[in-house]
Structure 1
Amino acid sequence: MKLLQQPVLHVEARVKSNRDGIIVRTDLIRDEITQWLIDNFVVLSLGQEIKSFEGLKEPHAQALESILITECTGGDLESGAYRLQNVQLDVQAYQLRTHLDQERSHHILHDEELVDNVEDLGTTKVLILPSTELDGLWESLQYDQPLQSTLLRAITRMVSFSARKLDKWTINWNRLILLWGPPGTGKTSLCRGLSQKLAIRLGKHYPQSKLVEINAHSLGSKYFGESGKLVSKAFESIELLLEEEEDSFVCVFVDEIETLAARRERALSSKEPFDAVRAVNALLTGLDRLKHHHNVIVICTSNLVTALDQAFLDRVDIKQFVPHLSNKTIYGIYKECLEELSWRGIIEGASFDVFQVKPEDPQTALQYVEQPARFLMLPMFEEMLLNYQIFPNAIPKQLADAASASVVSNRSRVEDITAGA
């Protein structure tokens, strides 16, 4: 099967915030940047950030904060650098929405709007995307496998397909994604970061985007028969939002979905079996109604996938397991955190090295040296394995030991949860 197009090089152009008095049409600046890149660059590299815009027409040059080359999708190209003649540029211009923008929007749906003034419940929050609140979250996530890019590509492709009005009876998509795995693996952060990235990536299709976070625990009621009603009203509110803003992309996020989608055969043995069954039925009905809207996806997380109702699992389009991290990845996270603390002046800087006592004689012993420095500079994991393993008191080795201890602790927790399930 041949590709329908060239590999796509994704570019994110960040426009300065509203507080700087910048108001621009992102569609116009997108086209301008695309042509400017073609005219001024032969090769672009992943991770390359451009902050000088000489030659770009005003007022767009003044409005831009940065241009970032994020990833390349499609084709067989695996290089980190790409000749522009071999790729298709996908430039997305966006402006982060500040806390003040969120307040002005008046789109925080309080519990009384969702549940007819039932007391003691949480809120369903609607966040305009992309938001300063989620800025940097996606980049901070680290996994052993490329979970982020895999999910982003798959969901972007499916949403783009739905915009082409495919026959729903031939290609059925329920718009439901499930991230499951043991607790503490960053599923919640991954969902929020994913919604932010989707808002940017889908900017050409949807000029506005929103994240709707449903507090699953707030939809459970102590009153008999109320849980199903609360779930129904929550989805009715979301459907109303979708109908009122058809040009907006809405990402619905439900954390710990097992609270609402527990297996009904187990619920029948509980104290209030019919109330639990009604809640699951209301959830399934709500999901079935949402799938008819082109501008929505639903992302859920679960720590206990075996506890989920089979009818819910049958509706899930993408099931992504999120495992615990390896000691290498945990070491990298620790390294990044400590270096950030040093950069901010919270902890002292230091550098580390291992060298031979007599450099001219390769047979002499190795010596570990720790020296004061302006900032903390820890070795990469591979270098730590190569040079620091024989020095148990070395800071890099102690950090690696802490990472290994975290892996053991996580495995023990998983075993305890599995045994109690």
Structure 2
Amino acid sequence: MSTPIHIEICIKNSSSATKLEVKEYVSRFVSRTRLELQNGFLSFKTFNDEPYLAENVYCITCDVGDSLQLPGFQPKTLLEKKWTPCFHLYRLNGSEREGYDIGAQEDETISTASQWTLPCREFHGLWENLVYNSNLKDQLLSYANTALMFSDRQVNSHIVSCNRVVLLHGPPGTGKTSLCRALAQKLAIRLGDRYLQTLLIEINSHSLFSKWFSESGKLVHRMFEDIRAKTRNPELLICVLIDEVESLTAARSAAIKGTDPSDAIRVVNAFLTQIDRIKKHSNVLILTTSNVTGAIDVAFVDRADIKHYIGVPSAAAAYSIYRSCFQELSRVGIIKTGEKLLDLRALDILRMAENPITRLSLRLLDIARQSNGFSGRTLRKLPFLAYALYFKGGNVTAEMFLDMLEAVVQKQHKDRENMDVEQ
């Protein structure tokens, strides 16, 4: 049975080469290049012996999924296994974030959303560097592809329902918003042959509340009417991101207990109505996040096809995050070392036995375990803080970096304890 592999080719904007020509060169290149797996991906950013690729290709990313994670399977090149290559060629959009306004009253103009044309430089590489405790990323990609396939087959939505709504919830700093942005970017790349353009519209939910009585529900209506107008273009894929969705879906039961519940209830009702109307369009996907799920109206929770809790990273996920930081600092020459840290799969194969090859990796794993309770946002800041607070000059070796990282992890715990005491 063949194994699918997605080969994503980012073509330089300055290139005049045809996609077919680039595809042929890349196919030959990856078939004879040795594999260096990182977080389930193979990345090629330098083409020293390939002048054609150096001139025309910015980078190549191969998503091999779980096939290379299996014990005992470590091919040297992609030719050593039967693959079904899926090529995705794209160029990065260099435009900045765009905003647009809607008017609430004659004297009030509100910036309601930001918009990106995807794939864009701002989110390039974000998907590959997000680490979670489960195969959530693969599940979300499969979910989006299935939703589109059911629409293509014209499955009766009254019999088999799909709202194309995702709710990611959990504590702050766990990467919910980043994952939504990265998913939209990945869909723009993977579905580039189907949709000529992809838009990510990030709604500023707080801006949809007006000081004018009864105006908030109208603002919600206007916002979604604008989105619905865009969905009429079948060659346009629209991903709508609503961060902190509890702002729009505050539980109506709680609103009724307030002193003036009518406007809050109107907002929730308007939002739910727009969700039901927009699901008729197959080229729109609604991505939402929440830090306070208890405040969300149950009717919205029921409309979400996927409701996934994203907690703080496990020790294994923290190790992968730290390892990627180590590799990046080594790449740019901040860490001066020829040593490499093994991935967890290699450590498992070696039975976690300590030897000269595994010593540094096992120590980093211990530091990852000491980082229990830290969010992904915190974990990615600590290597910077380690250098900023504990660097004493000279070359930073791998051993020195781990010393500094362990010191800053302990400091982080102490700082949090002191904050708890003050409160």
Q: Name the TM-score class by shorter chain.
A: 0.7 to 0.9
User: Are 2:231 and 2:283, in contact at CA under 8 Å, matched by a contact in 1?
Assistant: yes
1:112 aligns with 2:102: yes
Equivalent-residue separation in structure 1 for 2:400 and 2:160 (angstroms): 57
What is the RMSD of the two structures over their aligned residues, measured on CA atoms? 4.1
Q: Which runs of 5+ in 1 are unaligned?
A: 353-377, 416-421
**CA separation in 1, counterparts of 2:159 and 2:22?**
34
Distance (whole Å) between structure 1 residues aligned to residue 112 and residue 133 of structure 2:
34
State the TM-score, normalizing by the size of structure 2. Answer: 0.72
One-letter amino acid matched to 1:396: L
| 1:109 CA displacement | 4.7
SS at the partner of 1:89? strand
Decide which of 42, 57, 61 is 1:48's aligned counterpart.
42
Once residues 381 and 309 of structure 1 are traced to their aligned partners in structure 2, the CA distance between those partners, rounded to angstroms, is 45
Q: How does 1:215-226 map to 2 (within 5 A)?
A: 215-226=204-215
Name 1:88's counterpart in structure 2.
84
The count of corresponding residues between Structure 1 and Structure 2 is 364
Pair 35,297 (structure 1): closer, same or farther in 2 beyond 3 Å? same
What is the DSSP-based 3-state SS (H/G/I as helix, E as strand, rest coil) of the residue aligned with 1:209?
strand
SS where residue 281 of structure 1 aligns? helix
* Structure 1 counterpart of 2:101, one-letter code: D
CA contact (8 A) 2:5 2:64 kept: yes
Q: Show CA shifts across 1:339-374 (max 9, x none).
A: 6467657x675799xxxxxxxxxxxxxxxxxxxxxx
| Residue 126 (structure 2) aligns with | 137
Change (3 A) 1:90 1:332: closer
Residue of structure 2 in register with 1:68 after alignment? 61
Alpha-carbon distance between aligned partners in 1 of 2:3 and 2:240, rounded to the nearest angstrom:
30
- 1:394-405 residue pairs with structure 2 within 5 A? 396=402, 399-400=405-406, 402-403=408-409
Tell me which amino acid in the other structure corresponds to 2:213: F
Amino acid at match of 1:65: Y
Map of 2:11 onto structure 1: 15
Deviation for aligned residue 1:193: 1.2
* Residue 394 (structure 1) shift: 7.2
* Whole-angstrom CA distance in 2 between matches of 1:409 and 1:163: 54
How far is 1:41 from its partner?
Answer: 5.3
Q: Is the contact made by 2:169 and 2:309 (CA closer than 8 Å) also made in structure 1? A: yes
In structure 2, what residue type is equivalent to 1:16?
Answer: K
Q: Which residue of 2 aligns with 1:355?
A: none
> Contact between 2:7 and 2:62, CA under 8 Å: does it hold in 1?
yes
Instruction: State the partner residue of 2:377.
Output: none
Q: Cα distance, 1:292 vs. partner?
A: 0.6
Larger radius of gyration: 1
| 1:264 is the counterpart of 2:270 | no
Describe the superposition over 1:56-106 as per-residue Cα deviations: whole angstroms up to 9, x where unpaired: 9x9x9954333321134799978565557633221111110002xx58xxx
CA distance in 2, matches of 1:335, 1:53: 25
| Match of residue 282 from structure 2 | 294
Deviates further, 136-145 or 259-268: 136-145
Name which of 134, 150, 162 aligns with 1:161: 150
Query: 1:151-206 deviations in whole A, cap 9, x for unaligned?
Result: 22322332233233222223211010010001111111111111111111122221
User: Is 1:379 the counterpart of 2:360 in the alignment?
Assistant: yes
Deviation at 1:136, TM superposition (A): 2.2
1:5-51 deviations in Å (ceiling 9; x for gaps)? 9542111011112xx2x35665x46865687579x559977533456
TM-score, normalised by the number of residues in structure 1: 0.72
Contact 2:131/2:317 (8 A) holds in 1: yes
Which residues of structure 2 form unaligned runs of 5+? Answer: 340-358, 371-398
Answer whether contact 2:174 2:312 (CA < 8 A) is retained.
yes
One-letter amino acid of the counterpart of residue 119, structure 2: P
